[in-house]
Amino acid sequence: MIGDSKTRLCFLWLLLVCLAAGRHGVKRKSGQHGHHSHGRTVHMRSLNNSEEQVEIGDVVAPRNLSPWQVSIQDGAKNHKCSGAIVGKNWVITTAYCLSRAHLKRYRIVVGTQTLGAVSRFLKSYSIEYAIVHPHFDKPKKSNDIALIFTERSIQFNIQVKAIDLQGSPLPRDSLVMHTGWSWRKGEDKNKMRAVYHRVIPYKICLTHFDKKIRNPIEPGHLCLNVPKDSDFCLKETGGLLVHNRRLAGLSSFGTPCATGEPFIGTRISFYFDFIRTTMKGCIRCEKNTHFEARFFDL
Query: Which pLDDT tens digit goes with each residue over 78-102?
Result: 999 999 999 999 999 999 999 777 8
pLDDT number for residue 247: 98
Q: What is the pTM of this model?
A: 0.76
Whether 40-62+163-269 and 69-162+273-288 share one fold: the answer is: yes
Is the CATH number of domain 69-162+273-288 2.170.270.10? Answer: no
Quote the mean pLDDT of the chain.
76
Report residue 204's pLDDT band, with 50, 70 and 90 as the boundaries.
confident
pLDDT number for residue 182: 78
Percent of the chain with pLDDT over 70: 69
Q: Are strands 263-267 and 40-45 parallel, antiparallel or unpaired?
A: unpaired
Report residue 184's pLDDT band, with 50, 70 and 90 as the boundaries.
low
In three-state form (DSSP H/G/I as H, E/B as E, the rest C), the secondary structure along the chain is CHHHHHHHHHHHHHHHHHHHHHHHCCCCCCCCCCCCECCEEEEEECCCCCEEEEEECCEECCCCCCCCEEEEECCCCCEEEEEEECCCCEEEECHHHHCCCCHHHCEEEECCCECCCCCCCCEEEEEEEEEECCCCECCCCECCCEEEEECCCCCCECCECCCEECCCCCCCCCEEEEEECCCCCHHHHHECEEEEEEEECHHHHHHHHCCCCCCCCCCCEEEEECCCCCCCECCCCCCEEEECCEEEEEEEEECCECCCCCEEEEECHHHHHHHHHHCCCCCHHHHHCCCCCCCCCC
In whole angstroms, give the CA distance from residue 257 to residue 228: 10
| Better-predicted residue by pLDDT, 68 or 232 | 68
Percent of the chain with pLDDT over 90: 41
Neighbouring-strand partners of residue 247: 165, 242
Alpha-carbon distance values, 72 to 81, 125, 211, 276 (Å):
5, 10, 34, 22
CATH of 40-62+163-269, one of 3.30.43.10, 3.60.20.10, 2.40.10.10, 2.40.37.10: 2.40.10.10
- Domains of the chain by residue range: 40-62+163-269, 69-162+273-288
Report residue 45's pLDDT band, with 50, 70 and 90 as the boundaries.
very low
